[in-house]
Amino acid sequence: ILPLTLANDVFGGLTTSRLNRLLREEKGWSYGASSSAAPTRGAMPFLLTAPVDRERAGESIAAIRGLLAEFHGSRPPEAAEVDRARASSVRGLPAEFETGGAMLGALERSVVLGRPDDYLATLPARIDNVPLAAVRAAPIPAAGDLAFIVVGDRAAIEPQLKALGLPVEYRSLP
């Protein structure tokens, strides 16, 4: 789980992530984009959120797919990126236990996920010891593994989605 957490932080889990930098800072298409991989007992869901201008929906999906291809190919996580993700994870731990409810939630997750009693106490050292190779091998999904849910004005977005050559399904709201 820790290699995946760090890989996700590099890809989209932090404000300094590749995803947010690309869509927000470089392109200016979104106020903020992020991804998450929530720990569960079974398969971990990977969620990516990128609210973008409707005129940029298709380009944003193409950019996300390209970013994932780079992540898995020509531009895997770099040591400096992983070091920033490690530092952010470790430095952010105290904030996760600021209230009684937050502490209870952390303990509940430990029980539900079958973590050892010393999980929280040993977490900083385990985060620091995740090898770069393990982060690079973490199961961040490939572009072809994702299903994109696009909400918006069909007339404005449909031509963009068709241009991508991806399968499209339409669902109407009740």
**Total length of the chain:** 174
Residue type at 164 in one-letter notation: L
Q: What are the tens digits of pLDDT across the range 99-127?
A: 999 889 888 888 988 899 898 889 999 99
Candidate from 112-116, 125-129, 157-161, 169-173 with smallest mean pLDDT: 169-173
Q: Does residue 174 have a pLDDT over 80?
A: no
Considering only residues 67 and 93, tell me which one the structure prediction assigns the higher pLDDT. Answer: 67
pLDDT of residue 69: 96
pLDDT of residue 170: 86
pLDDT of residue 95: 83
Q: How confident is the model at residue 41 (pLDDT cuts 50, 70, 90)?
A: confident
pLDDT of residue 26: 95
Cβ neighbours for 114, distance < 8 A, ≥ 6 positions apart:
41
Q: Does residue 24 have a pLDDT over 80?
A: yes
Q: How confident is the model at residue 93 (pLDDT cuts 50, 70, 90)?
A: confident
114: its two tokens = 């079958």
Instruction: Report the distance separating Cα 137 and Cα 67, nearest Å.
Output: 16
pLDDT of residue 161: 92
Considering only residues 104 and 39, tell me which one the structure prediction assigns the higher pLDDT. Answer: 104
Q: Does residue 65 have a pLDDT over 90?
A: yes
pLDDT of residue 44: 72
